[in-house]
Amino acid sequence: MGILPSEMNADICVIGAGASGITAALAAYWRDPSLKIVLVEEKERIGQKILVTGNGRCNLSNRTLTLDSYNEGAVRYEPVFRKSMADEVLFARLGLMLYEDESGRFYPYSNQASSVLNAFLNELNRTDIEVRAGSGVTRLEPGKQGIMIGFGNGEALLARRAILATGSPASVKSNRSEELVRQVGDRFIPFVPALVPLRIRGEQFRSLKGIRLKAAVALQKNGKTIRLESGEVQFGDGYLGGICVMDLSRYVDDGDYQLSLDLIPDRAKQGIISFLDASCSRSSNAAALLNGILPRRVGELLMRSMFPDAFSMSAGSLTEEDIGMVADLLKRWIIPVSSRCPMSQAQVCRGGVDGLDGETLSSARDPRVFYCGEIINVDGRCGGFNLHWAWISGKAAGEAAALSAREGIYE
Ligand SMILES: Cc1cc2nc3c(=O)[nH]c(=O)nc-3n(C[C@H](O)[C@H](O)[C@H](O)COP(=O)(O)OP(=O)(O)OC[C@H]3O[C@@H](n4cnc5c(N)ncnc54)[C@H](O)[C@@H]3O)c2cc1C
């Protein structure tokens, strides 16, 4: 193949050069190097988001992955997950060594996200894939001759196949994914932030800004527990973040939500009471009672919430009943949630294009259009699951687009 009608500029145009788009372009090239593949990116440089993932370390996959790690939308794409679980194959091919931490999370051996991007850039340099960076796609017009792809700078490109890999509005200023999907005519579920900190109600919590704690956290809706997670929580200015809160945020919609924190999940109430009884004689005042267990600001806030005079009370004056109440609070500290934080603070989005072919990720409206990555209605928990989806969906869409372009299917 690779012989194009004179007006045709590409066999395959991949729109968006993030984790999934770069993978899709390479997968298409590996499948058939004779295809003319163009990878377009609106920013000046490609793959930049990869550099900020995993706090600069890029948590790129997870050993413990199952479909339960994702939203219900992922079930449709089970064949893609089944085919591509061995993602090490992709990274071995790129010459990238991985390591696995104690929780099954995979990282580059160098512990630097830049190694992941460099591995992709090196491989792209070895191919004939044309990279066009610096102008975004604003128009997508599937027509008889091919798919007309229009850019913000007025240029256009005609392609036989298009792969949309433009991600979501999470953490970026603006994003046209929804608009482009609607131009193709596919079903779209509106994006909402997921993996995002939760805004909390109560001025008193602002004094805890910057504090990190380990806790078992229950997300409650209308007083009923709907989800449990444990791990680190982190107080921000009027919000609560940290991995376990971000994971819980995927289950927050409209309604009355609260977080119930167990601050000492590995101890039963009676053990905590015995510990507190012994601490009473050592504490300078009641406000200081929890200083041996929690960061000082948290301990004082908790004690003052029960005993407004905690700073002037002696800890020894606390009754058996008081100590029982303190132990209860440590096991069940209720923090009311007012909403999710905005899109700019989200790591991924819920929602996206829906109803694609479960194996090839091709459009339900036009089989010459494919999708991959976060633009699809698949979102996962923290721990490498979202990048895993970006790689495997990119690989699936790239291979399927190459096959369909080579065989002239639906020409
Ligand atoms: C701070 C942060 C940390 C994260 N850490 C992790 C982690 O450790 N592990 C993990 O699994 N996931 C992590 N994620 C999520 C992960 O980064 C995303 O799920 C993943 O990058 C999605 O890949 P994608 O290719 O679909 O989209 P993106 O990576 O967003 O790439 C889309 C690309 O398309 C370009 N584009 C958009 N619109 C257009 C257009 N109209 N024309 C041309 N180009 C366009 C964009 O500029 C971008 O380069 C993190 C996310 C954030 C924000």
Q: How many angstroms separate the first and last alpha carbons of the chain?
A: 13
Output the pLDDT for position 88: 65
Residues 6+ apart with CB under 8 A from 232: 212, 213, 214, 242, 243, 244
Over 80: is that where the pLDDT of 407 sits?
Answer: no
- pLDDT digit string, tens, across residues 135-173: 999 999 999 889 999 999 999 999 999 999 999 999 998
Domains of the chain, start order:
10-193+348-407 (3.50.50.60), 198-340 (no CATH)
- Lowest-confidence range among 84-98, 105-119, 350-364? 84-98
CA 104 to ligand 1 centroid distance, Å: 22
- pLDDT digit string, tens, across residues 379-398: 999 999 999 999 999 999 99
174 burial level (CB within 10 Å; 0-12, 13-18, 19+): exposed
Cα–Cα distance, 76 to 2 (Å, whole number): 32
- The first and second tokens of residue 189, run together, are 């579920």
In this structure, the residue with its CA closest to atom 17 of ligand 1 is: 53
Q: Which atom of ligand 1 is nearest to the CA of 390?
A: 23
Output the pLDDT for position 350: 94
Output the pLDDT for position 284: 84
- pLDDT digit string, tens, across residues 318-364: 999 999 999 999 999 999 999 999 999 999 999 999 999 999 999 99
- pLDDT digit string, tens, across residues 186-231: 999 999 999 999 999 999 999 999 999 999 999 999 989 999 999 9
- CB 379 less than 6 A from any atom of ligand 1: no
CA-to-CA separations, 251 to 218, 276, 350, 351, 404, in angstroms, rounded: 11, 35, 10, 13, 38
Structure confidence at residue 6 as a pLDDT band (50, 70, 90): very low
- The first and second tokens of residue 30, run together, are 């590996």
Give the residue-averaged pLDDT of 306-326: 95
Torsion of CA 343, 346, 347, 350, to 10 degrees: -70
Output the pLDDT for position 2: 40
Output the pLDDT for position 87: 59
Helix (H, G, I), strand (E, B) or coil at 204: helix
Tell me which residue of 316, 265, 371, 379 sits closest to 20, measured CA to CA: 371
Cβ atoms of 109 and 57 closer than 8 Å: no
Over 80: is that where the pLDDT of 5 sits?
Answer: no
Output the pLDDT for position 145: 87
- The first and second tokens of residue 237, run together, are 């200015």
Helix (H, G, I), strand (E, B) or coil at 111: coil
- CB 43 less than 6 A from any atom of ligand 1: yes
Identify any residues that bridge with 362 across adjacent strands, giving them in sequence order: 370
What is the number of residues in the chain?
Answer: 411
Pairing of strands 10-15, 156-164: parallel
Cα–Cα distance, 307 to 280 (Å, whole number): 15
CA 172 to ligand 1 centroid distance, Å: 9
In this structure, the residue with its CA closest to atom 51 of ligand 1 is: 347
- CB 345 less than 6 A from any atom of ligand 1: no
- CB 393 less than 6 A from any atom of ligand 1: no
Can you list the alpha helix ranges (DSSP code H) found in 172-267? Answer: 177-184, 243-249
Cβ atoms of 192 and 42 closer than 8 Å: no
Over 80: is that where the pLDDT of 86 sits?
Answer: no
The residue ranges of DSSP E strands in 236-332, in sequence order, are 239-241, 257-262
Over 90: is that where the pLDDT of 408 sits?
Answer: no
Output the pLDDT for position 254: 82
246 burial level (CB within 10 Å; 0-12, 13-18, 19+): buried
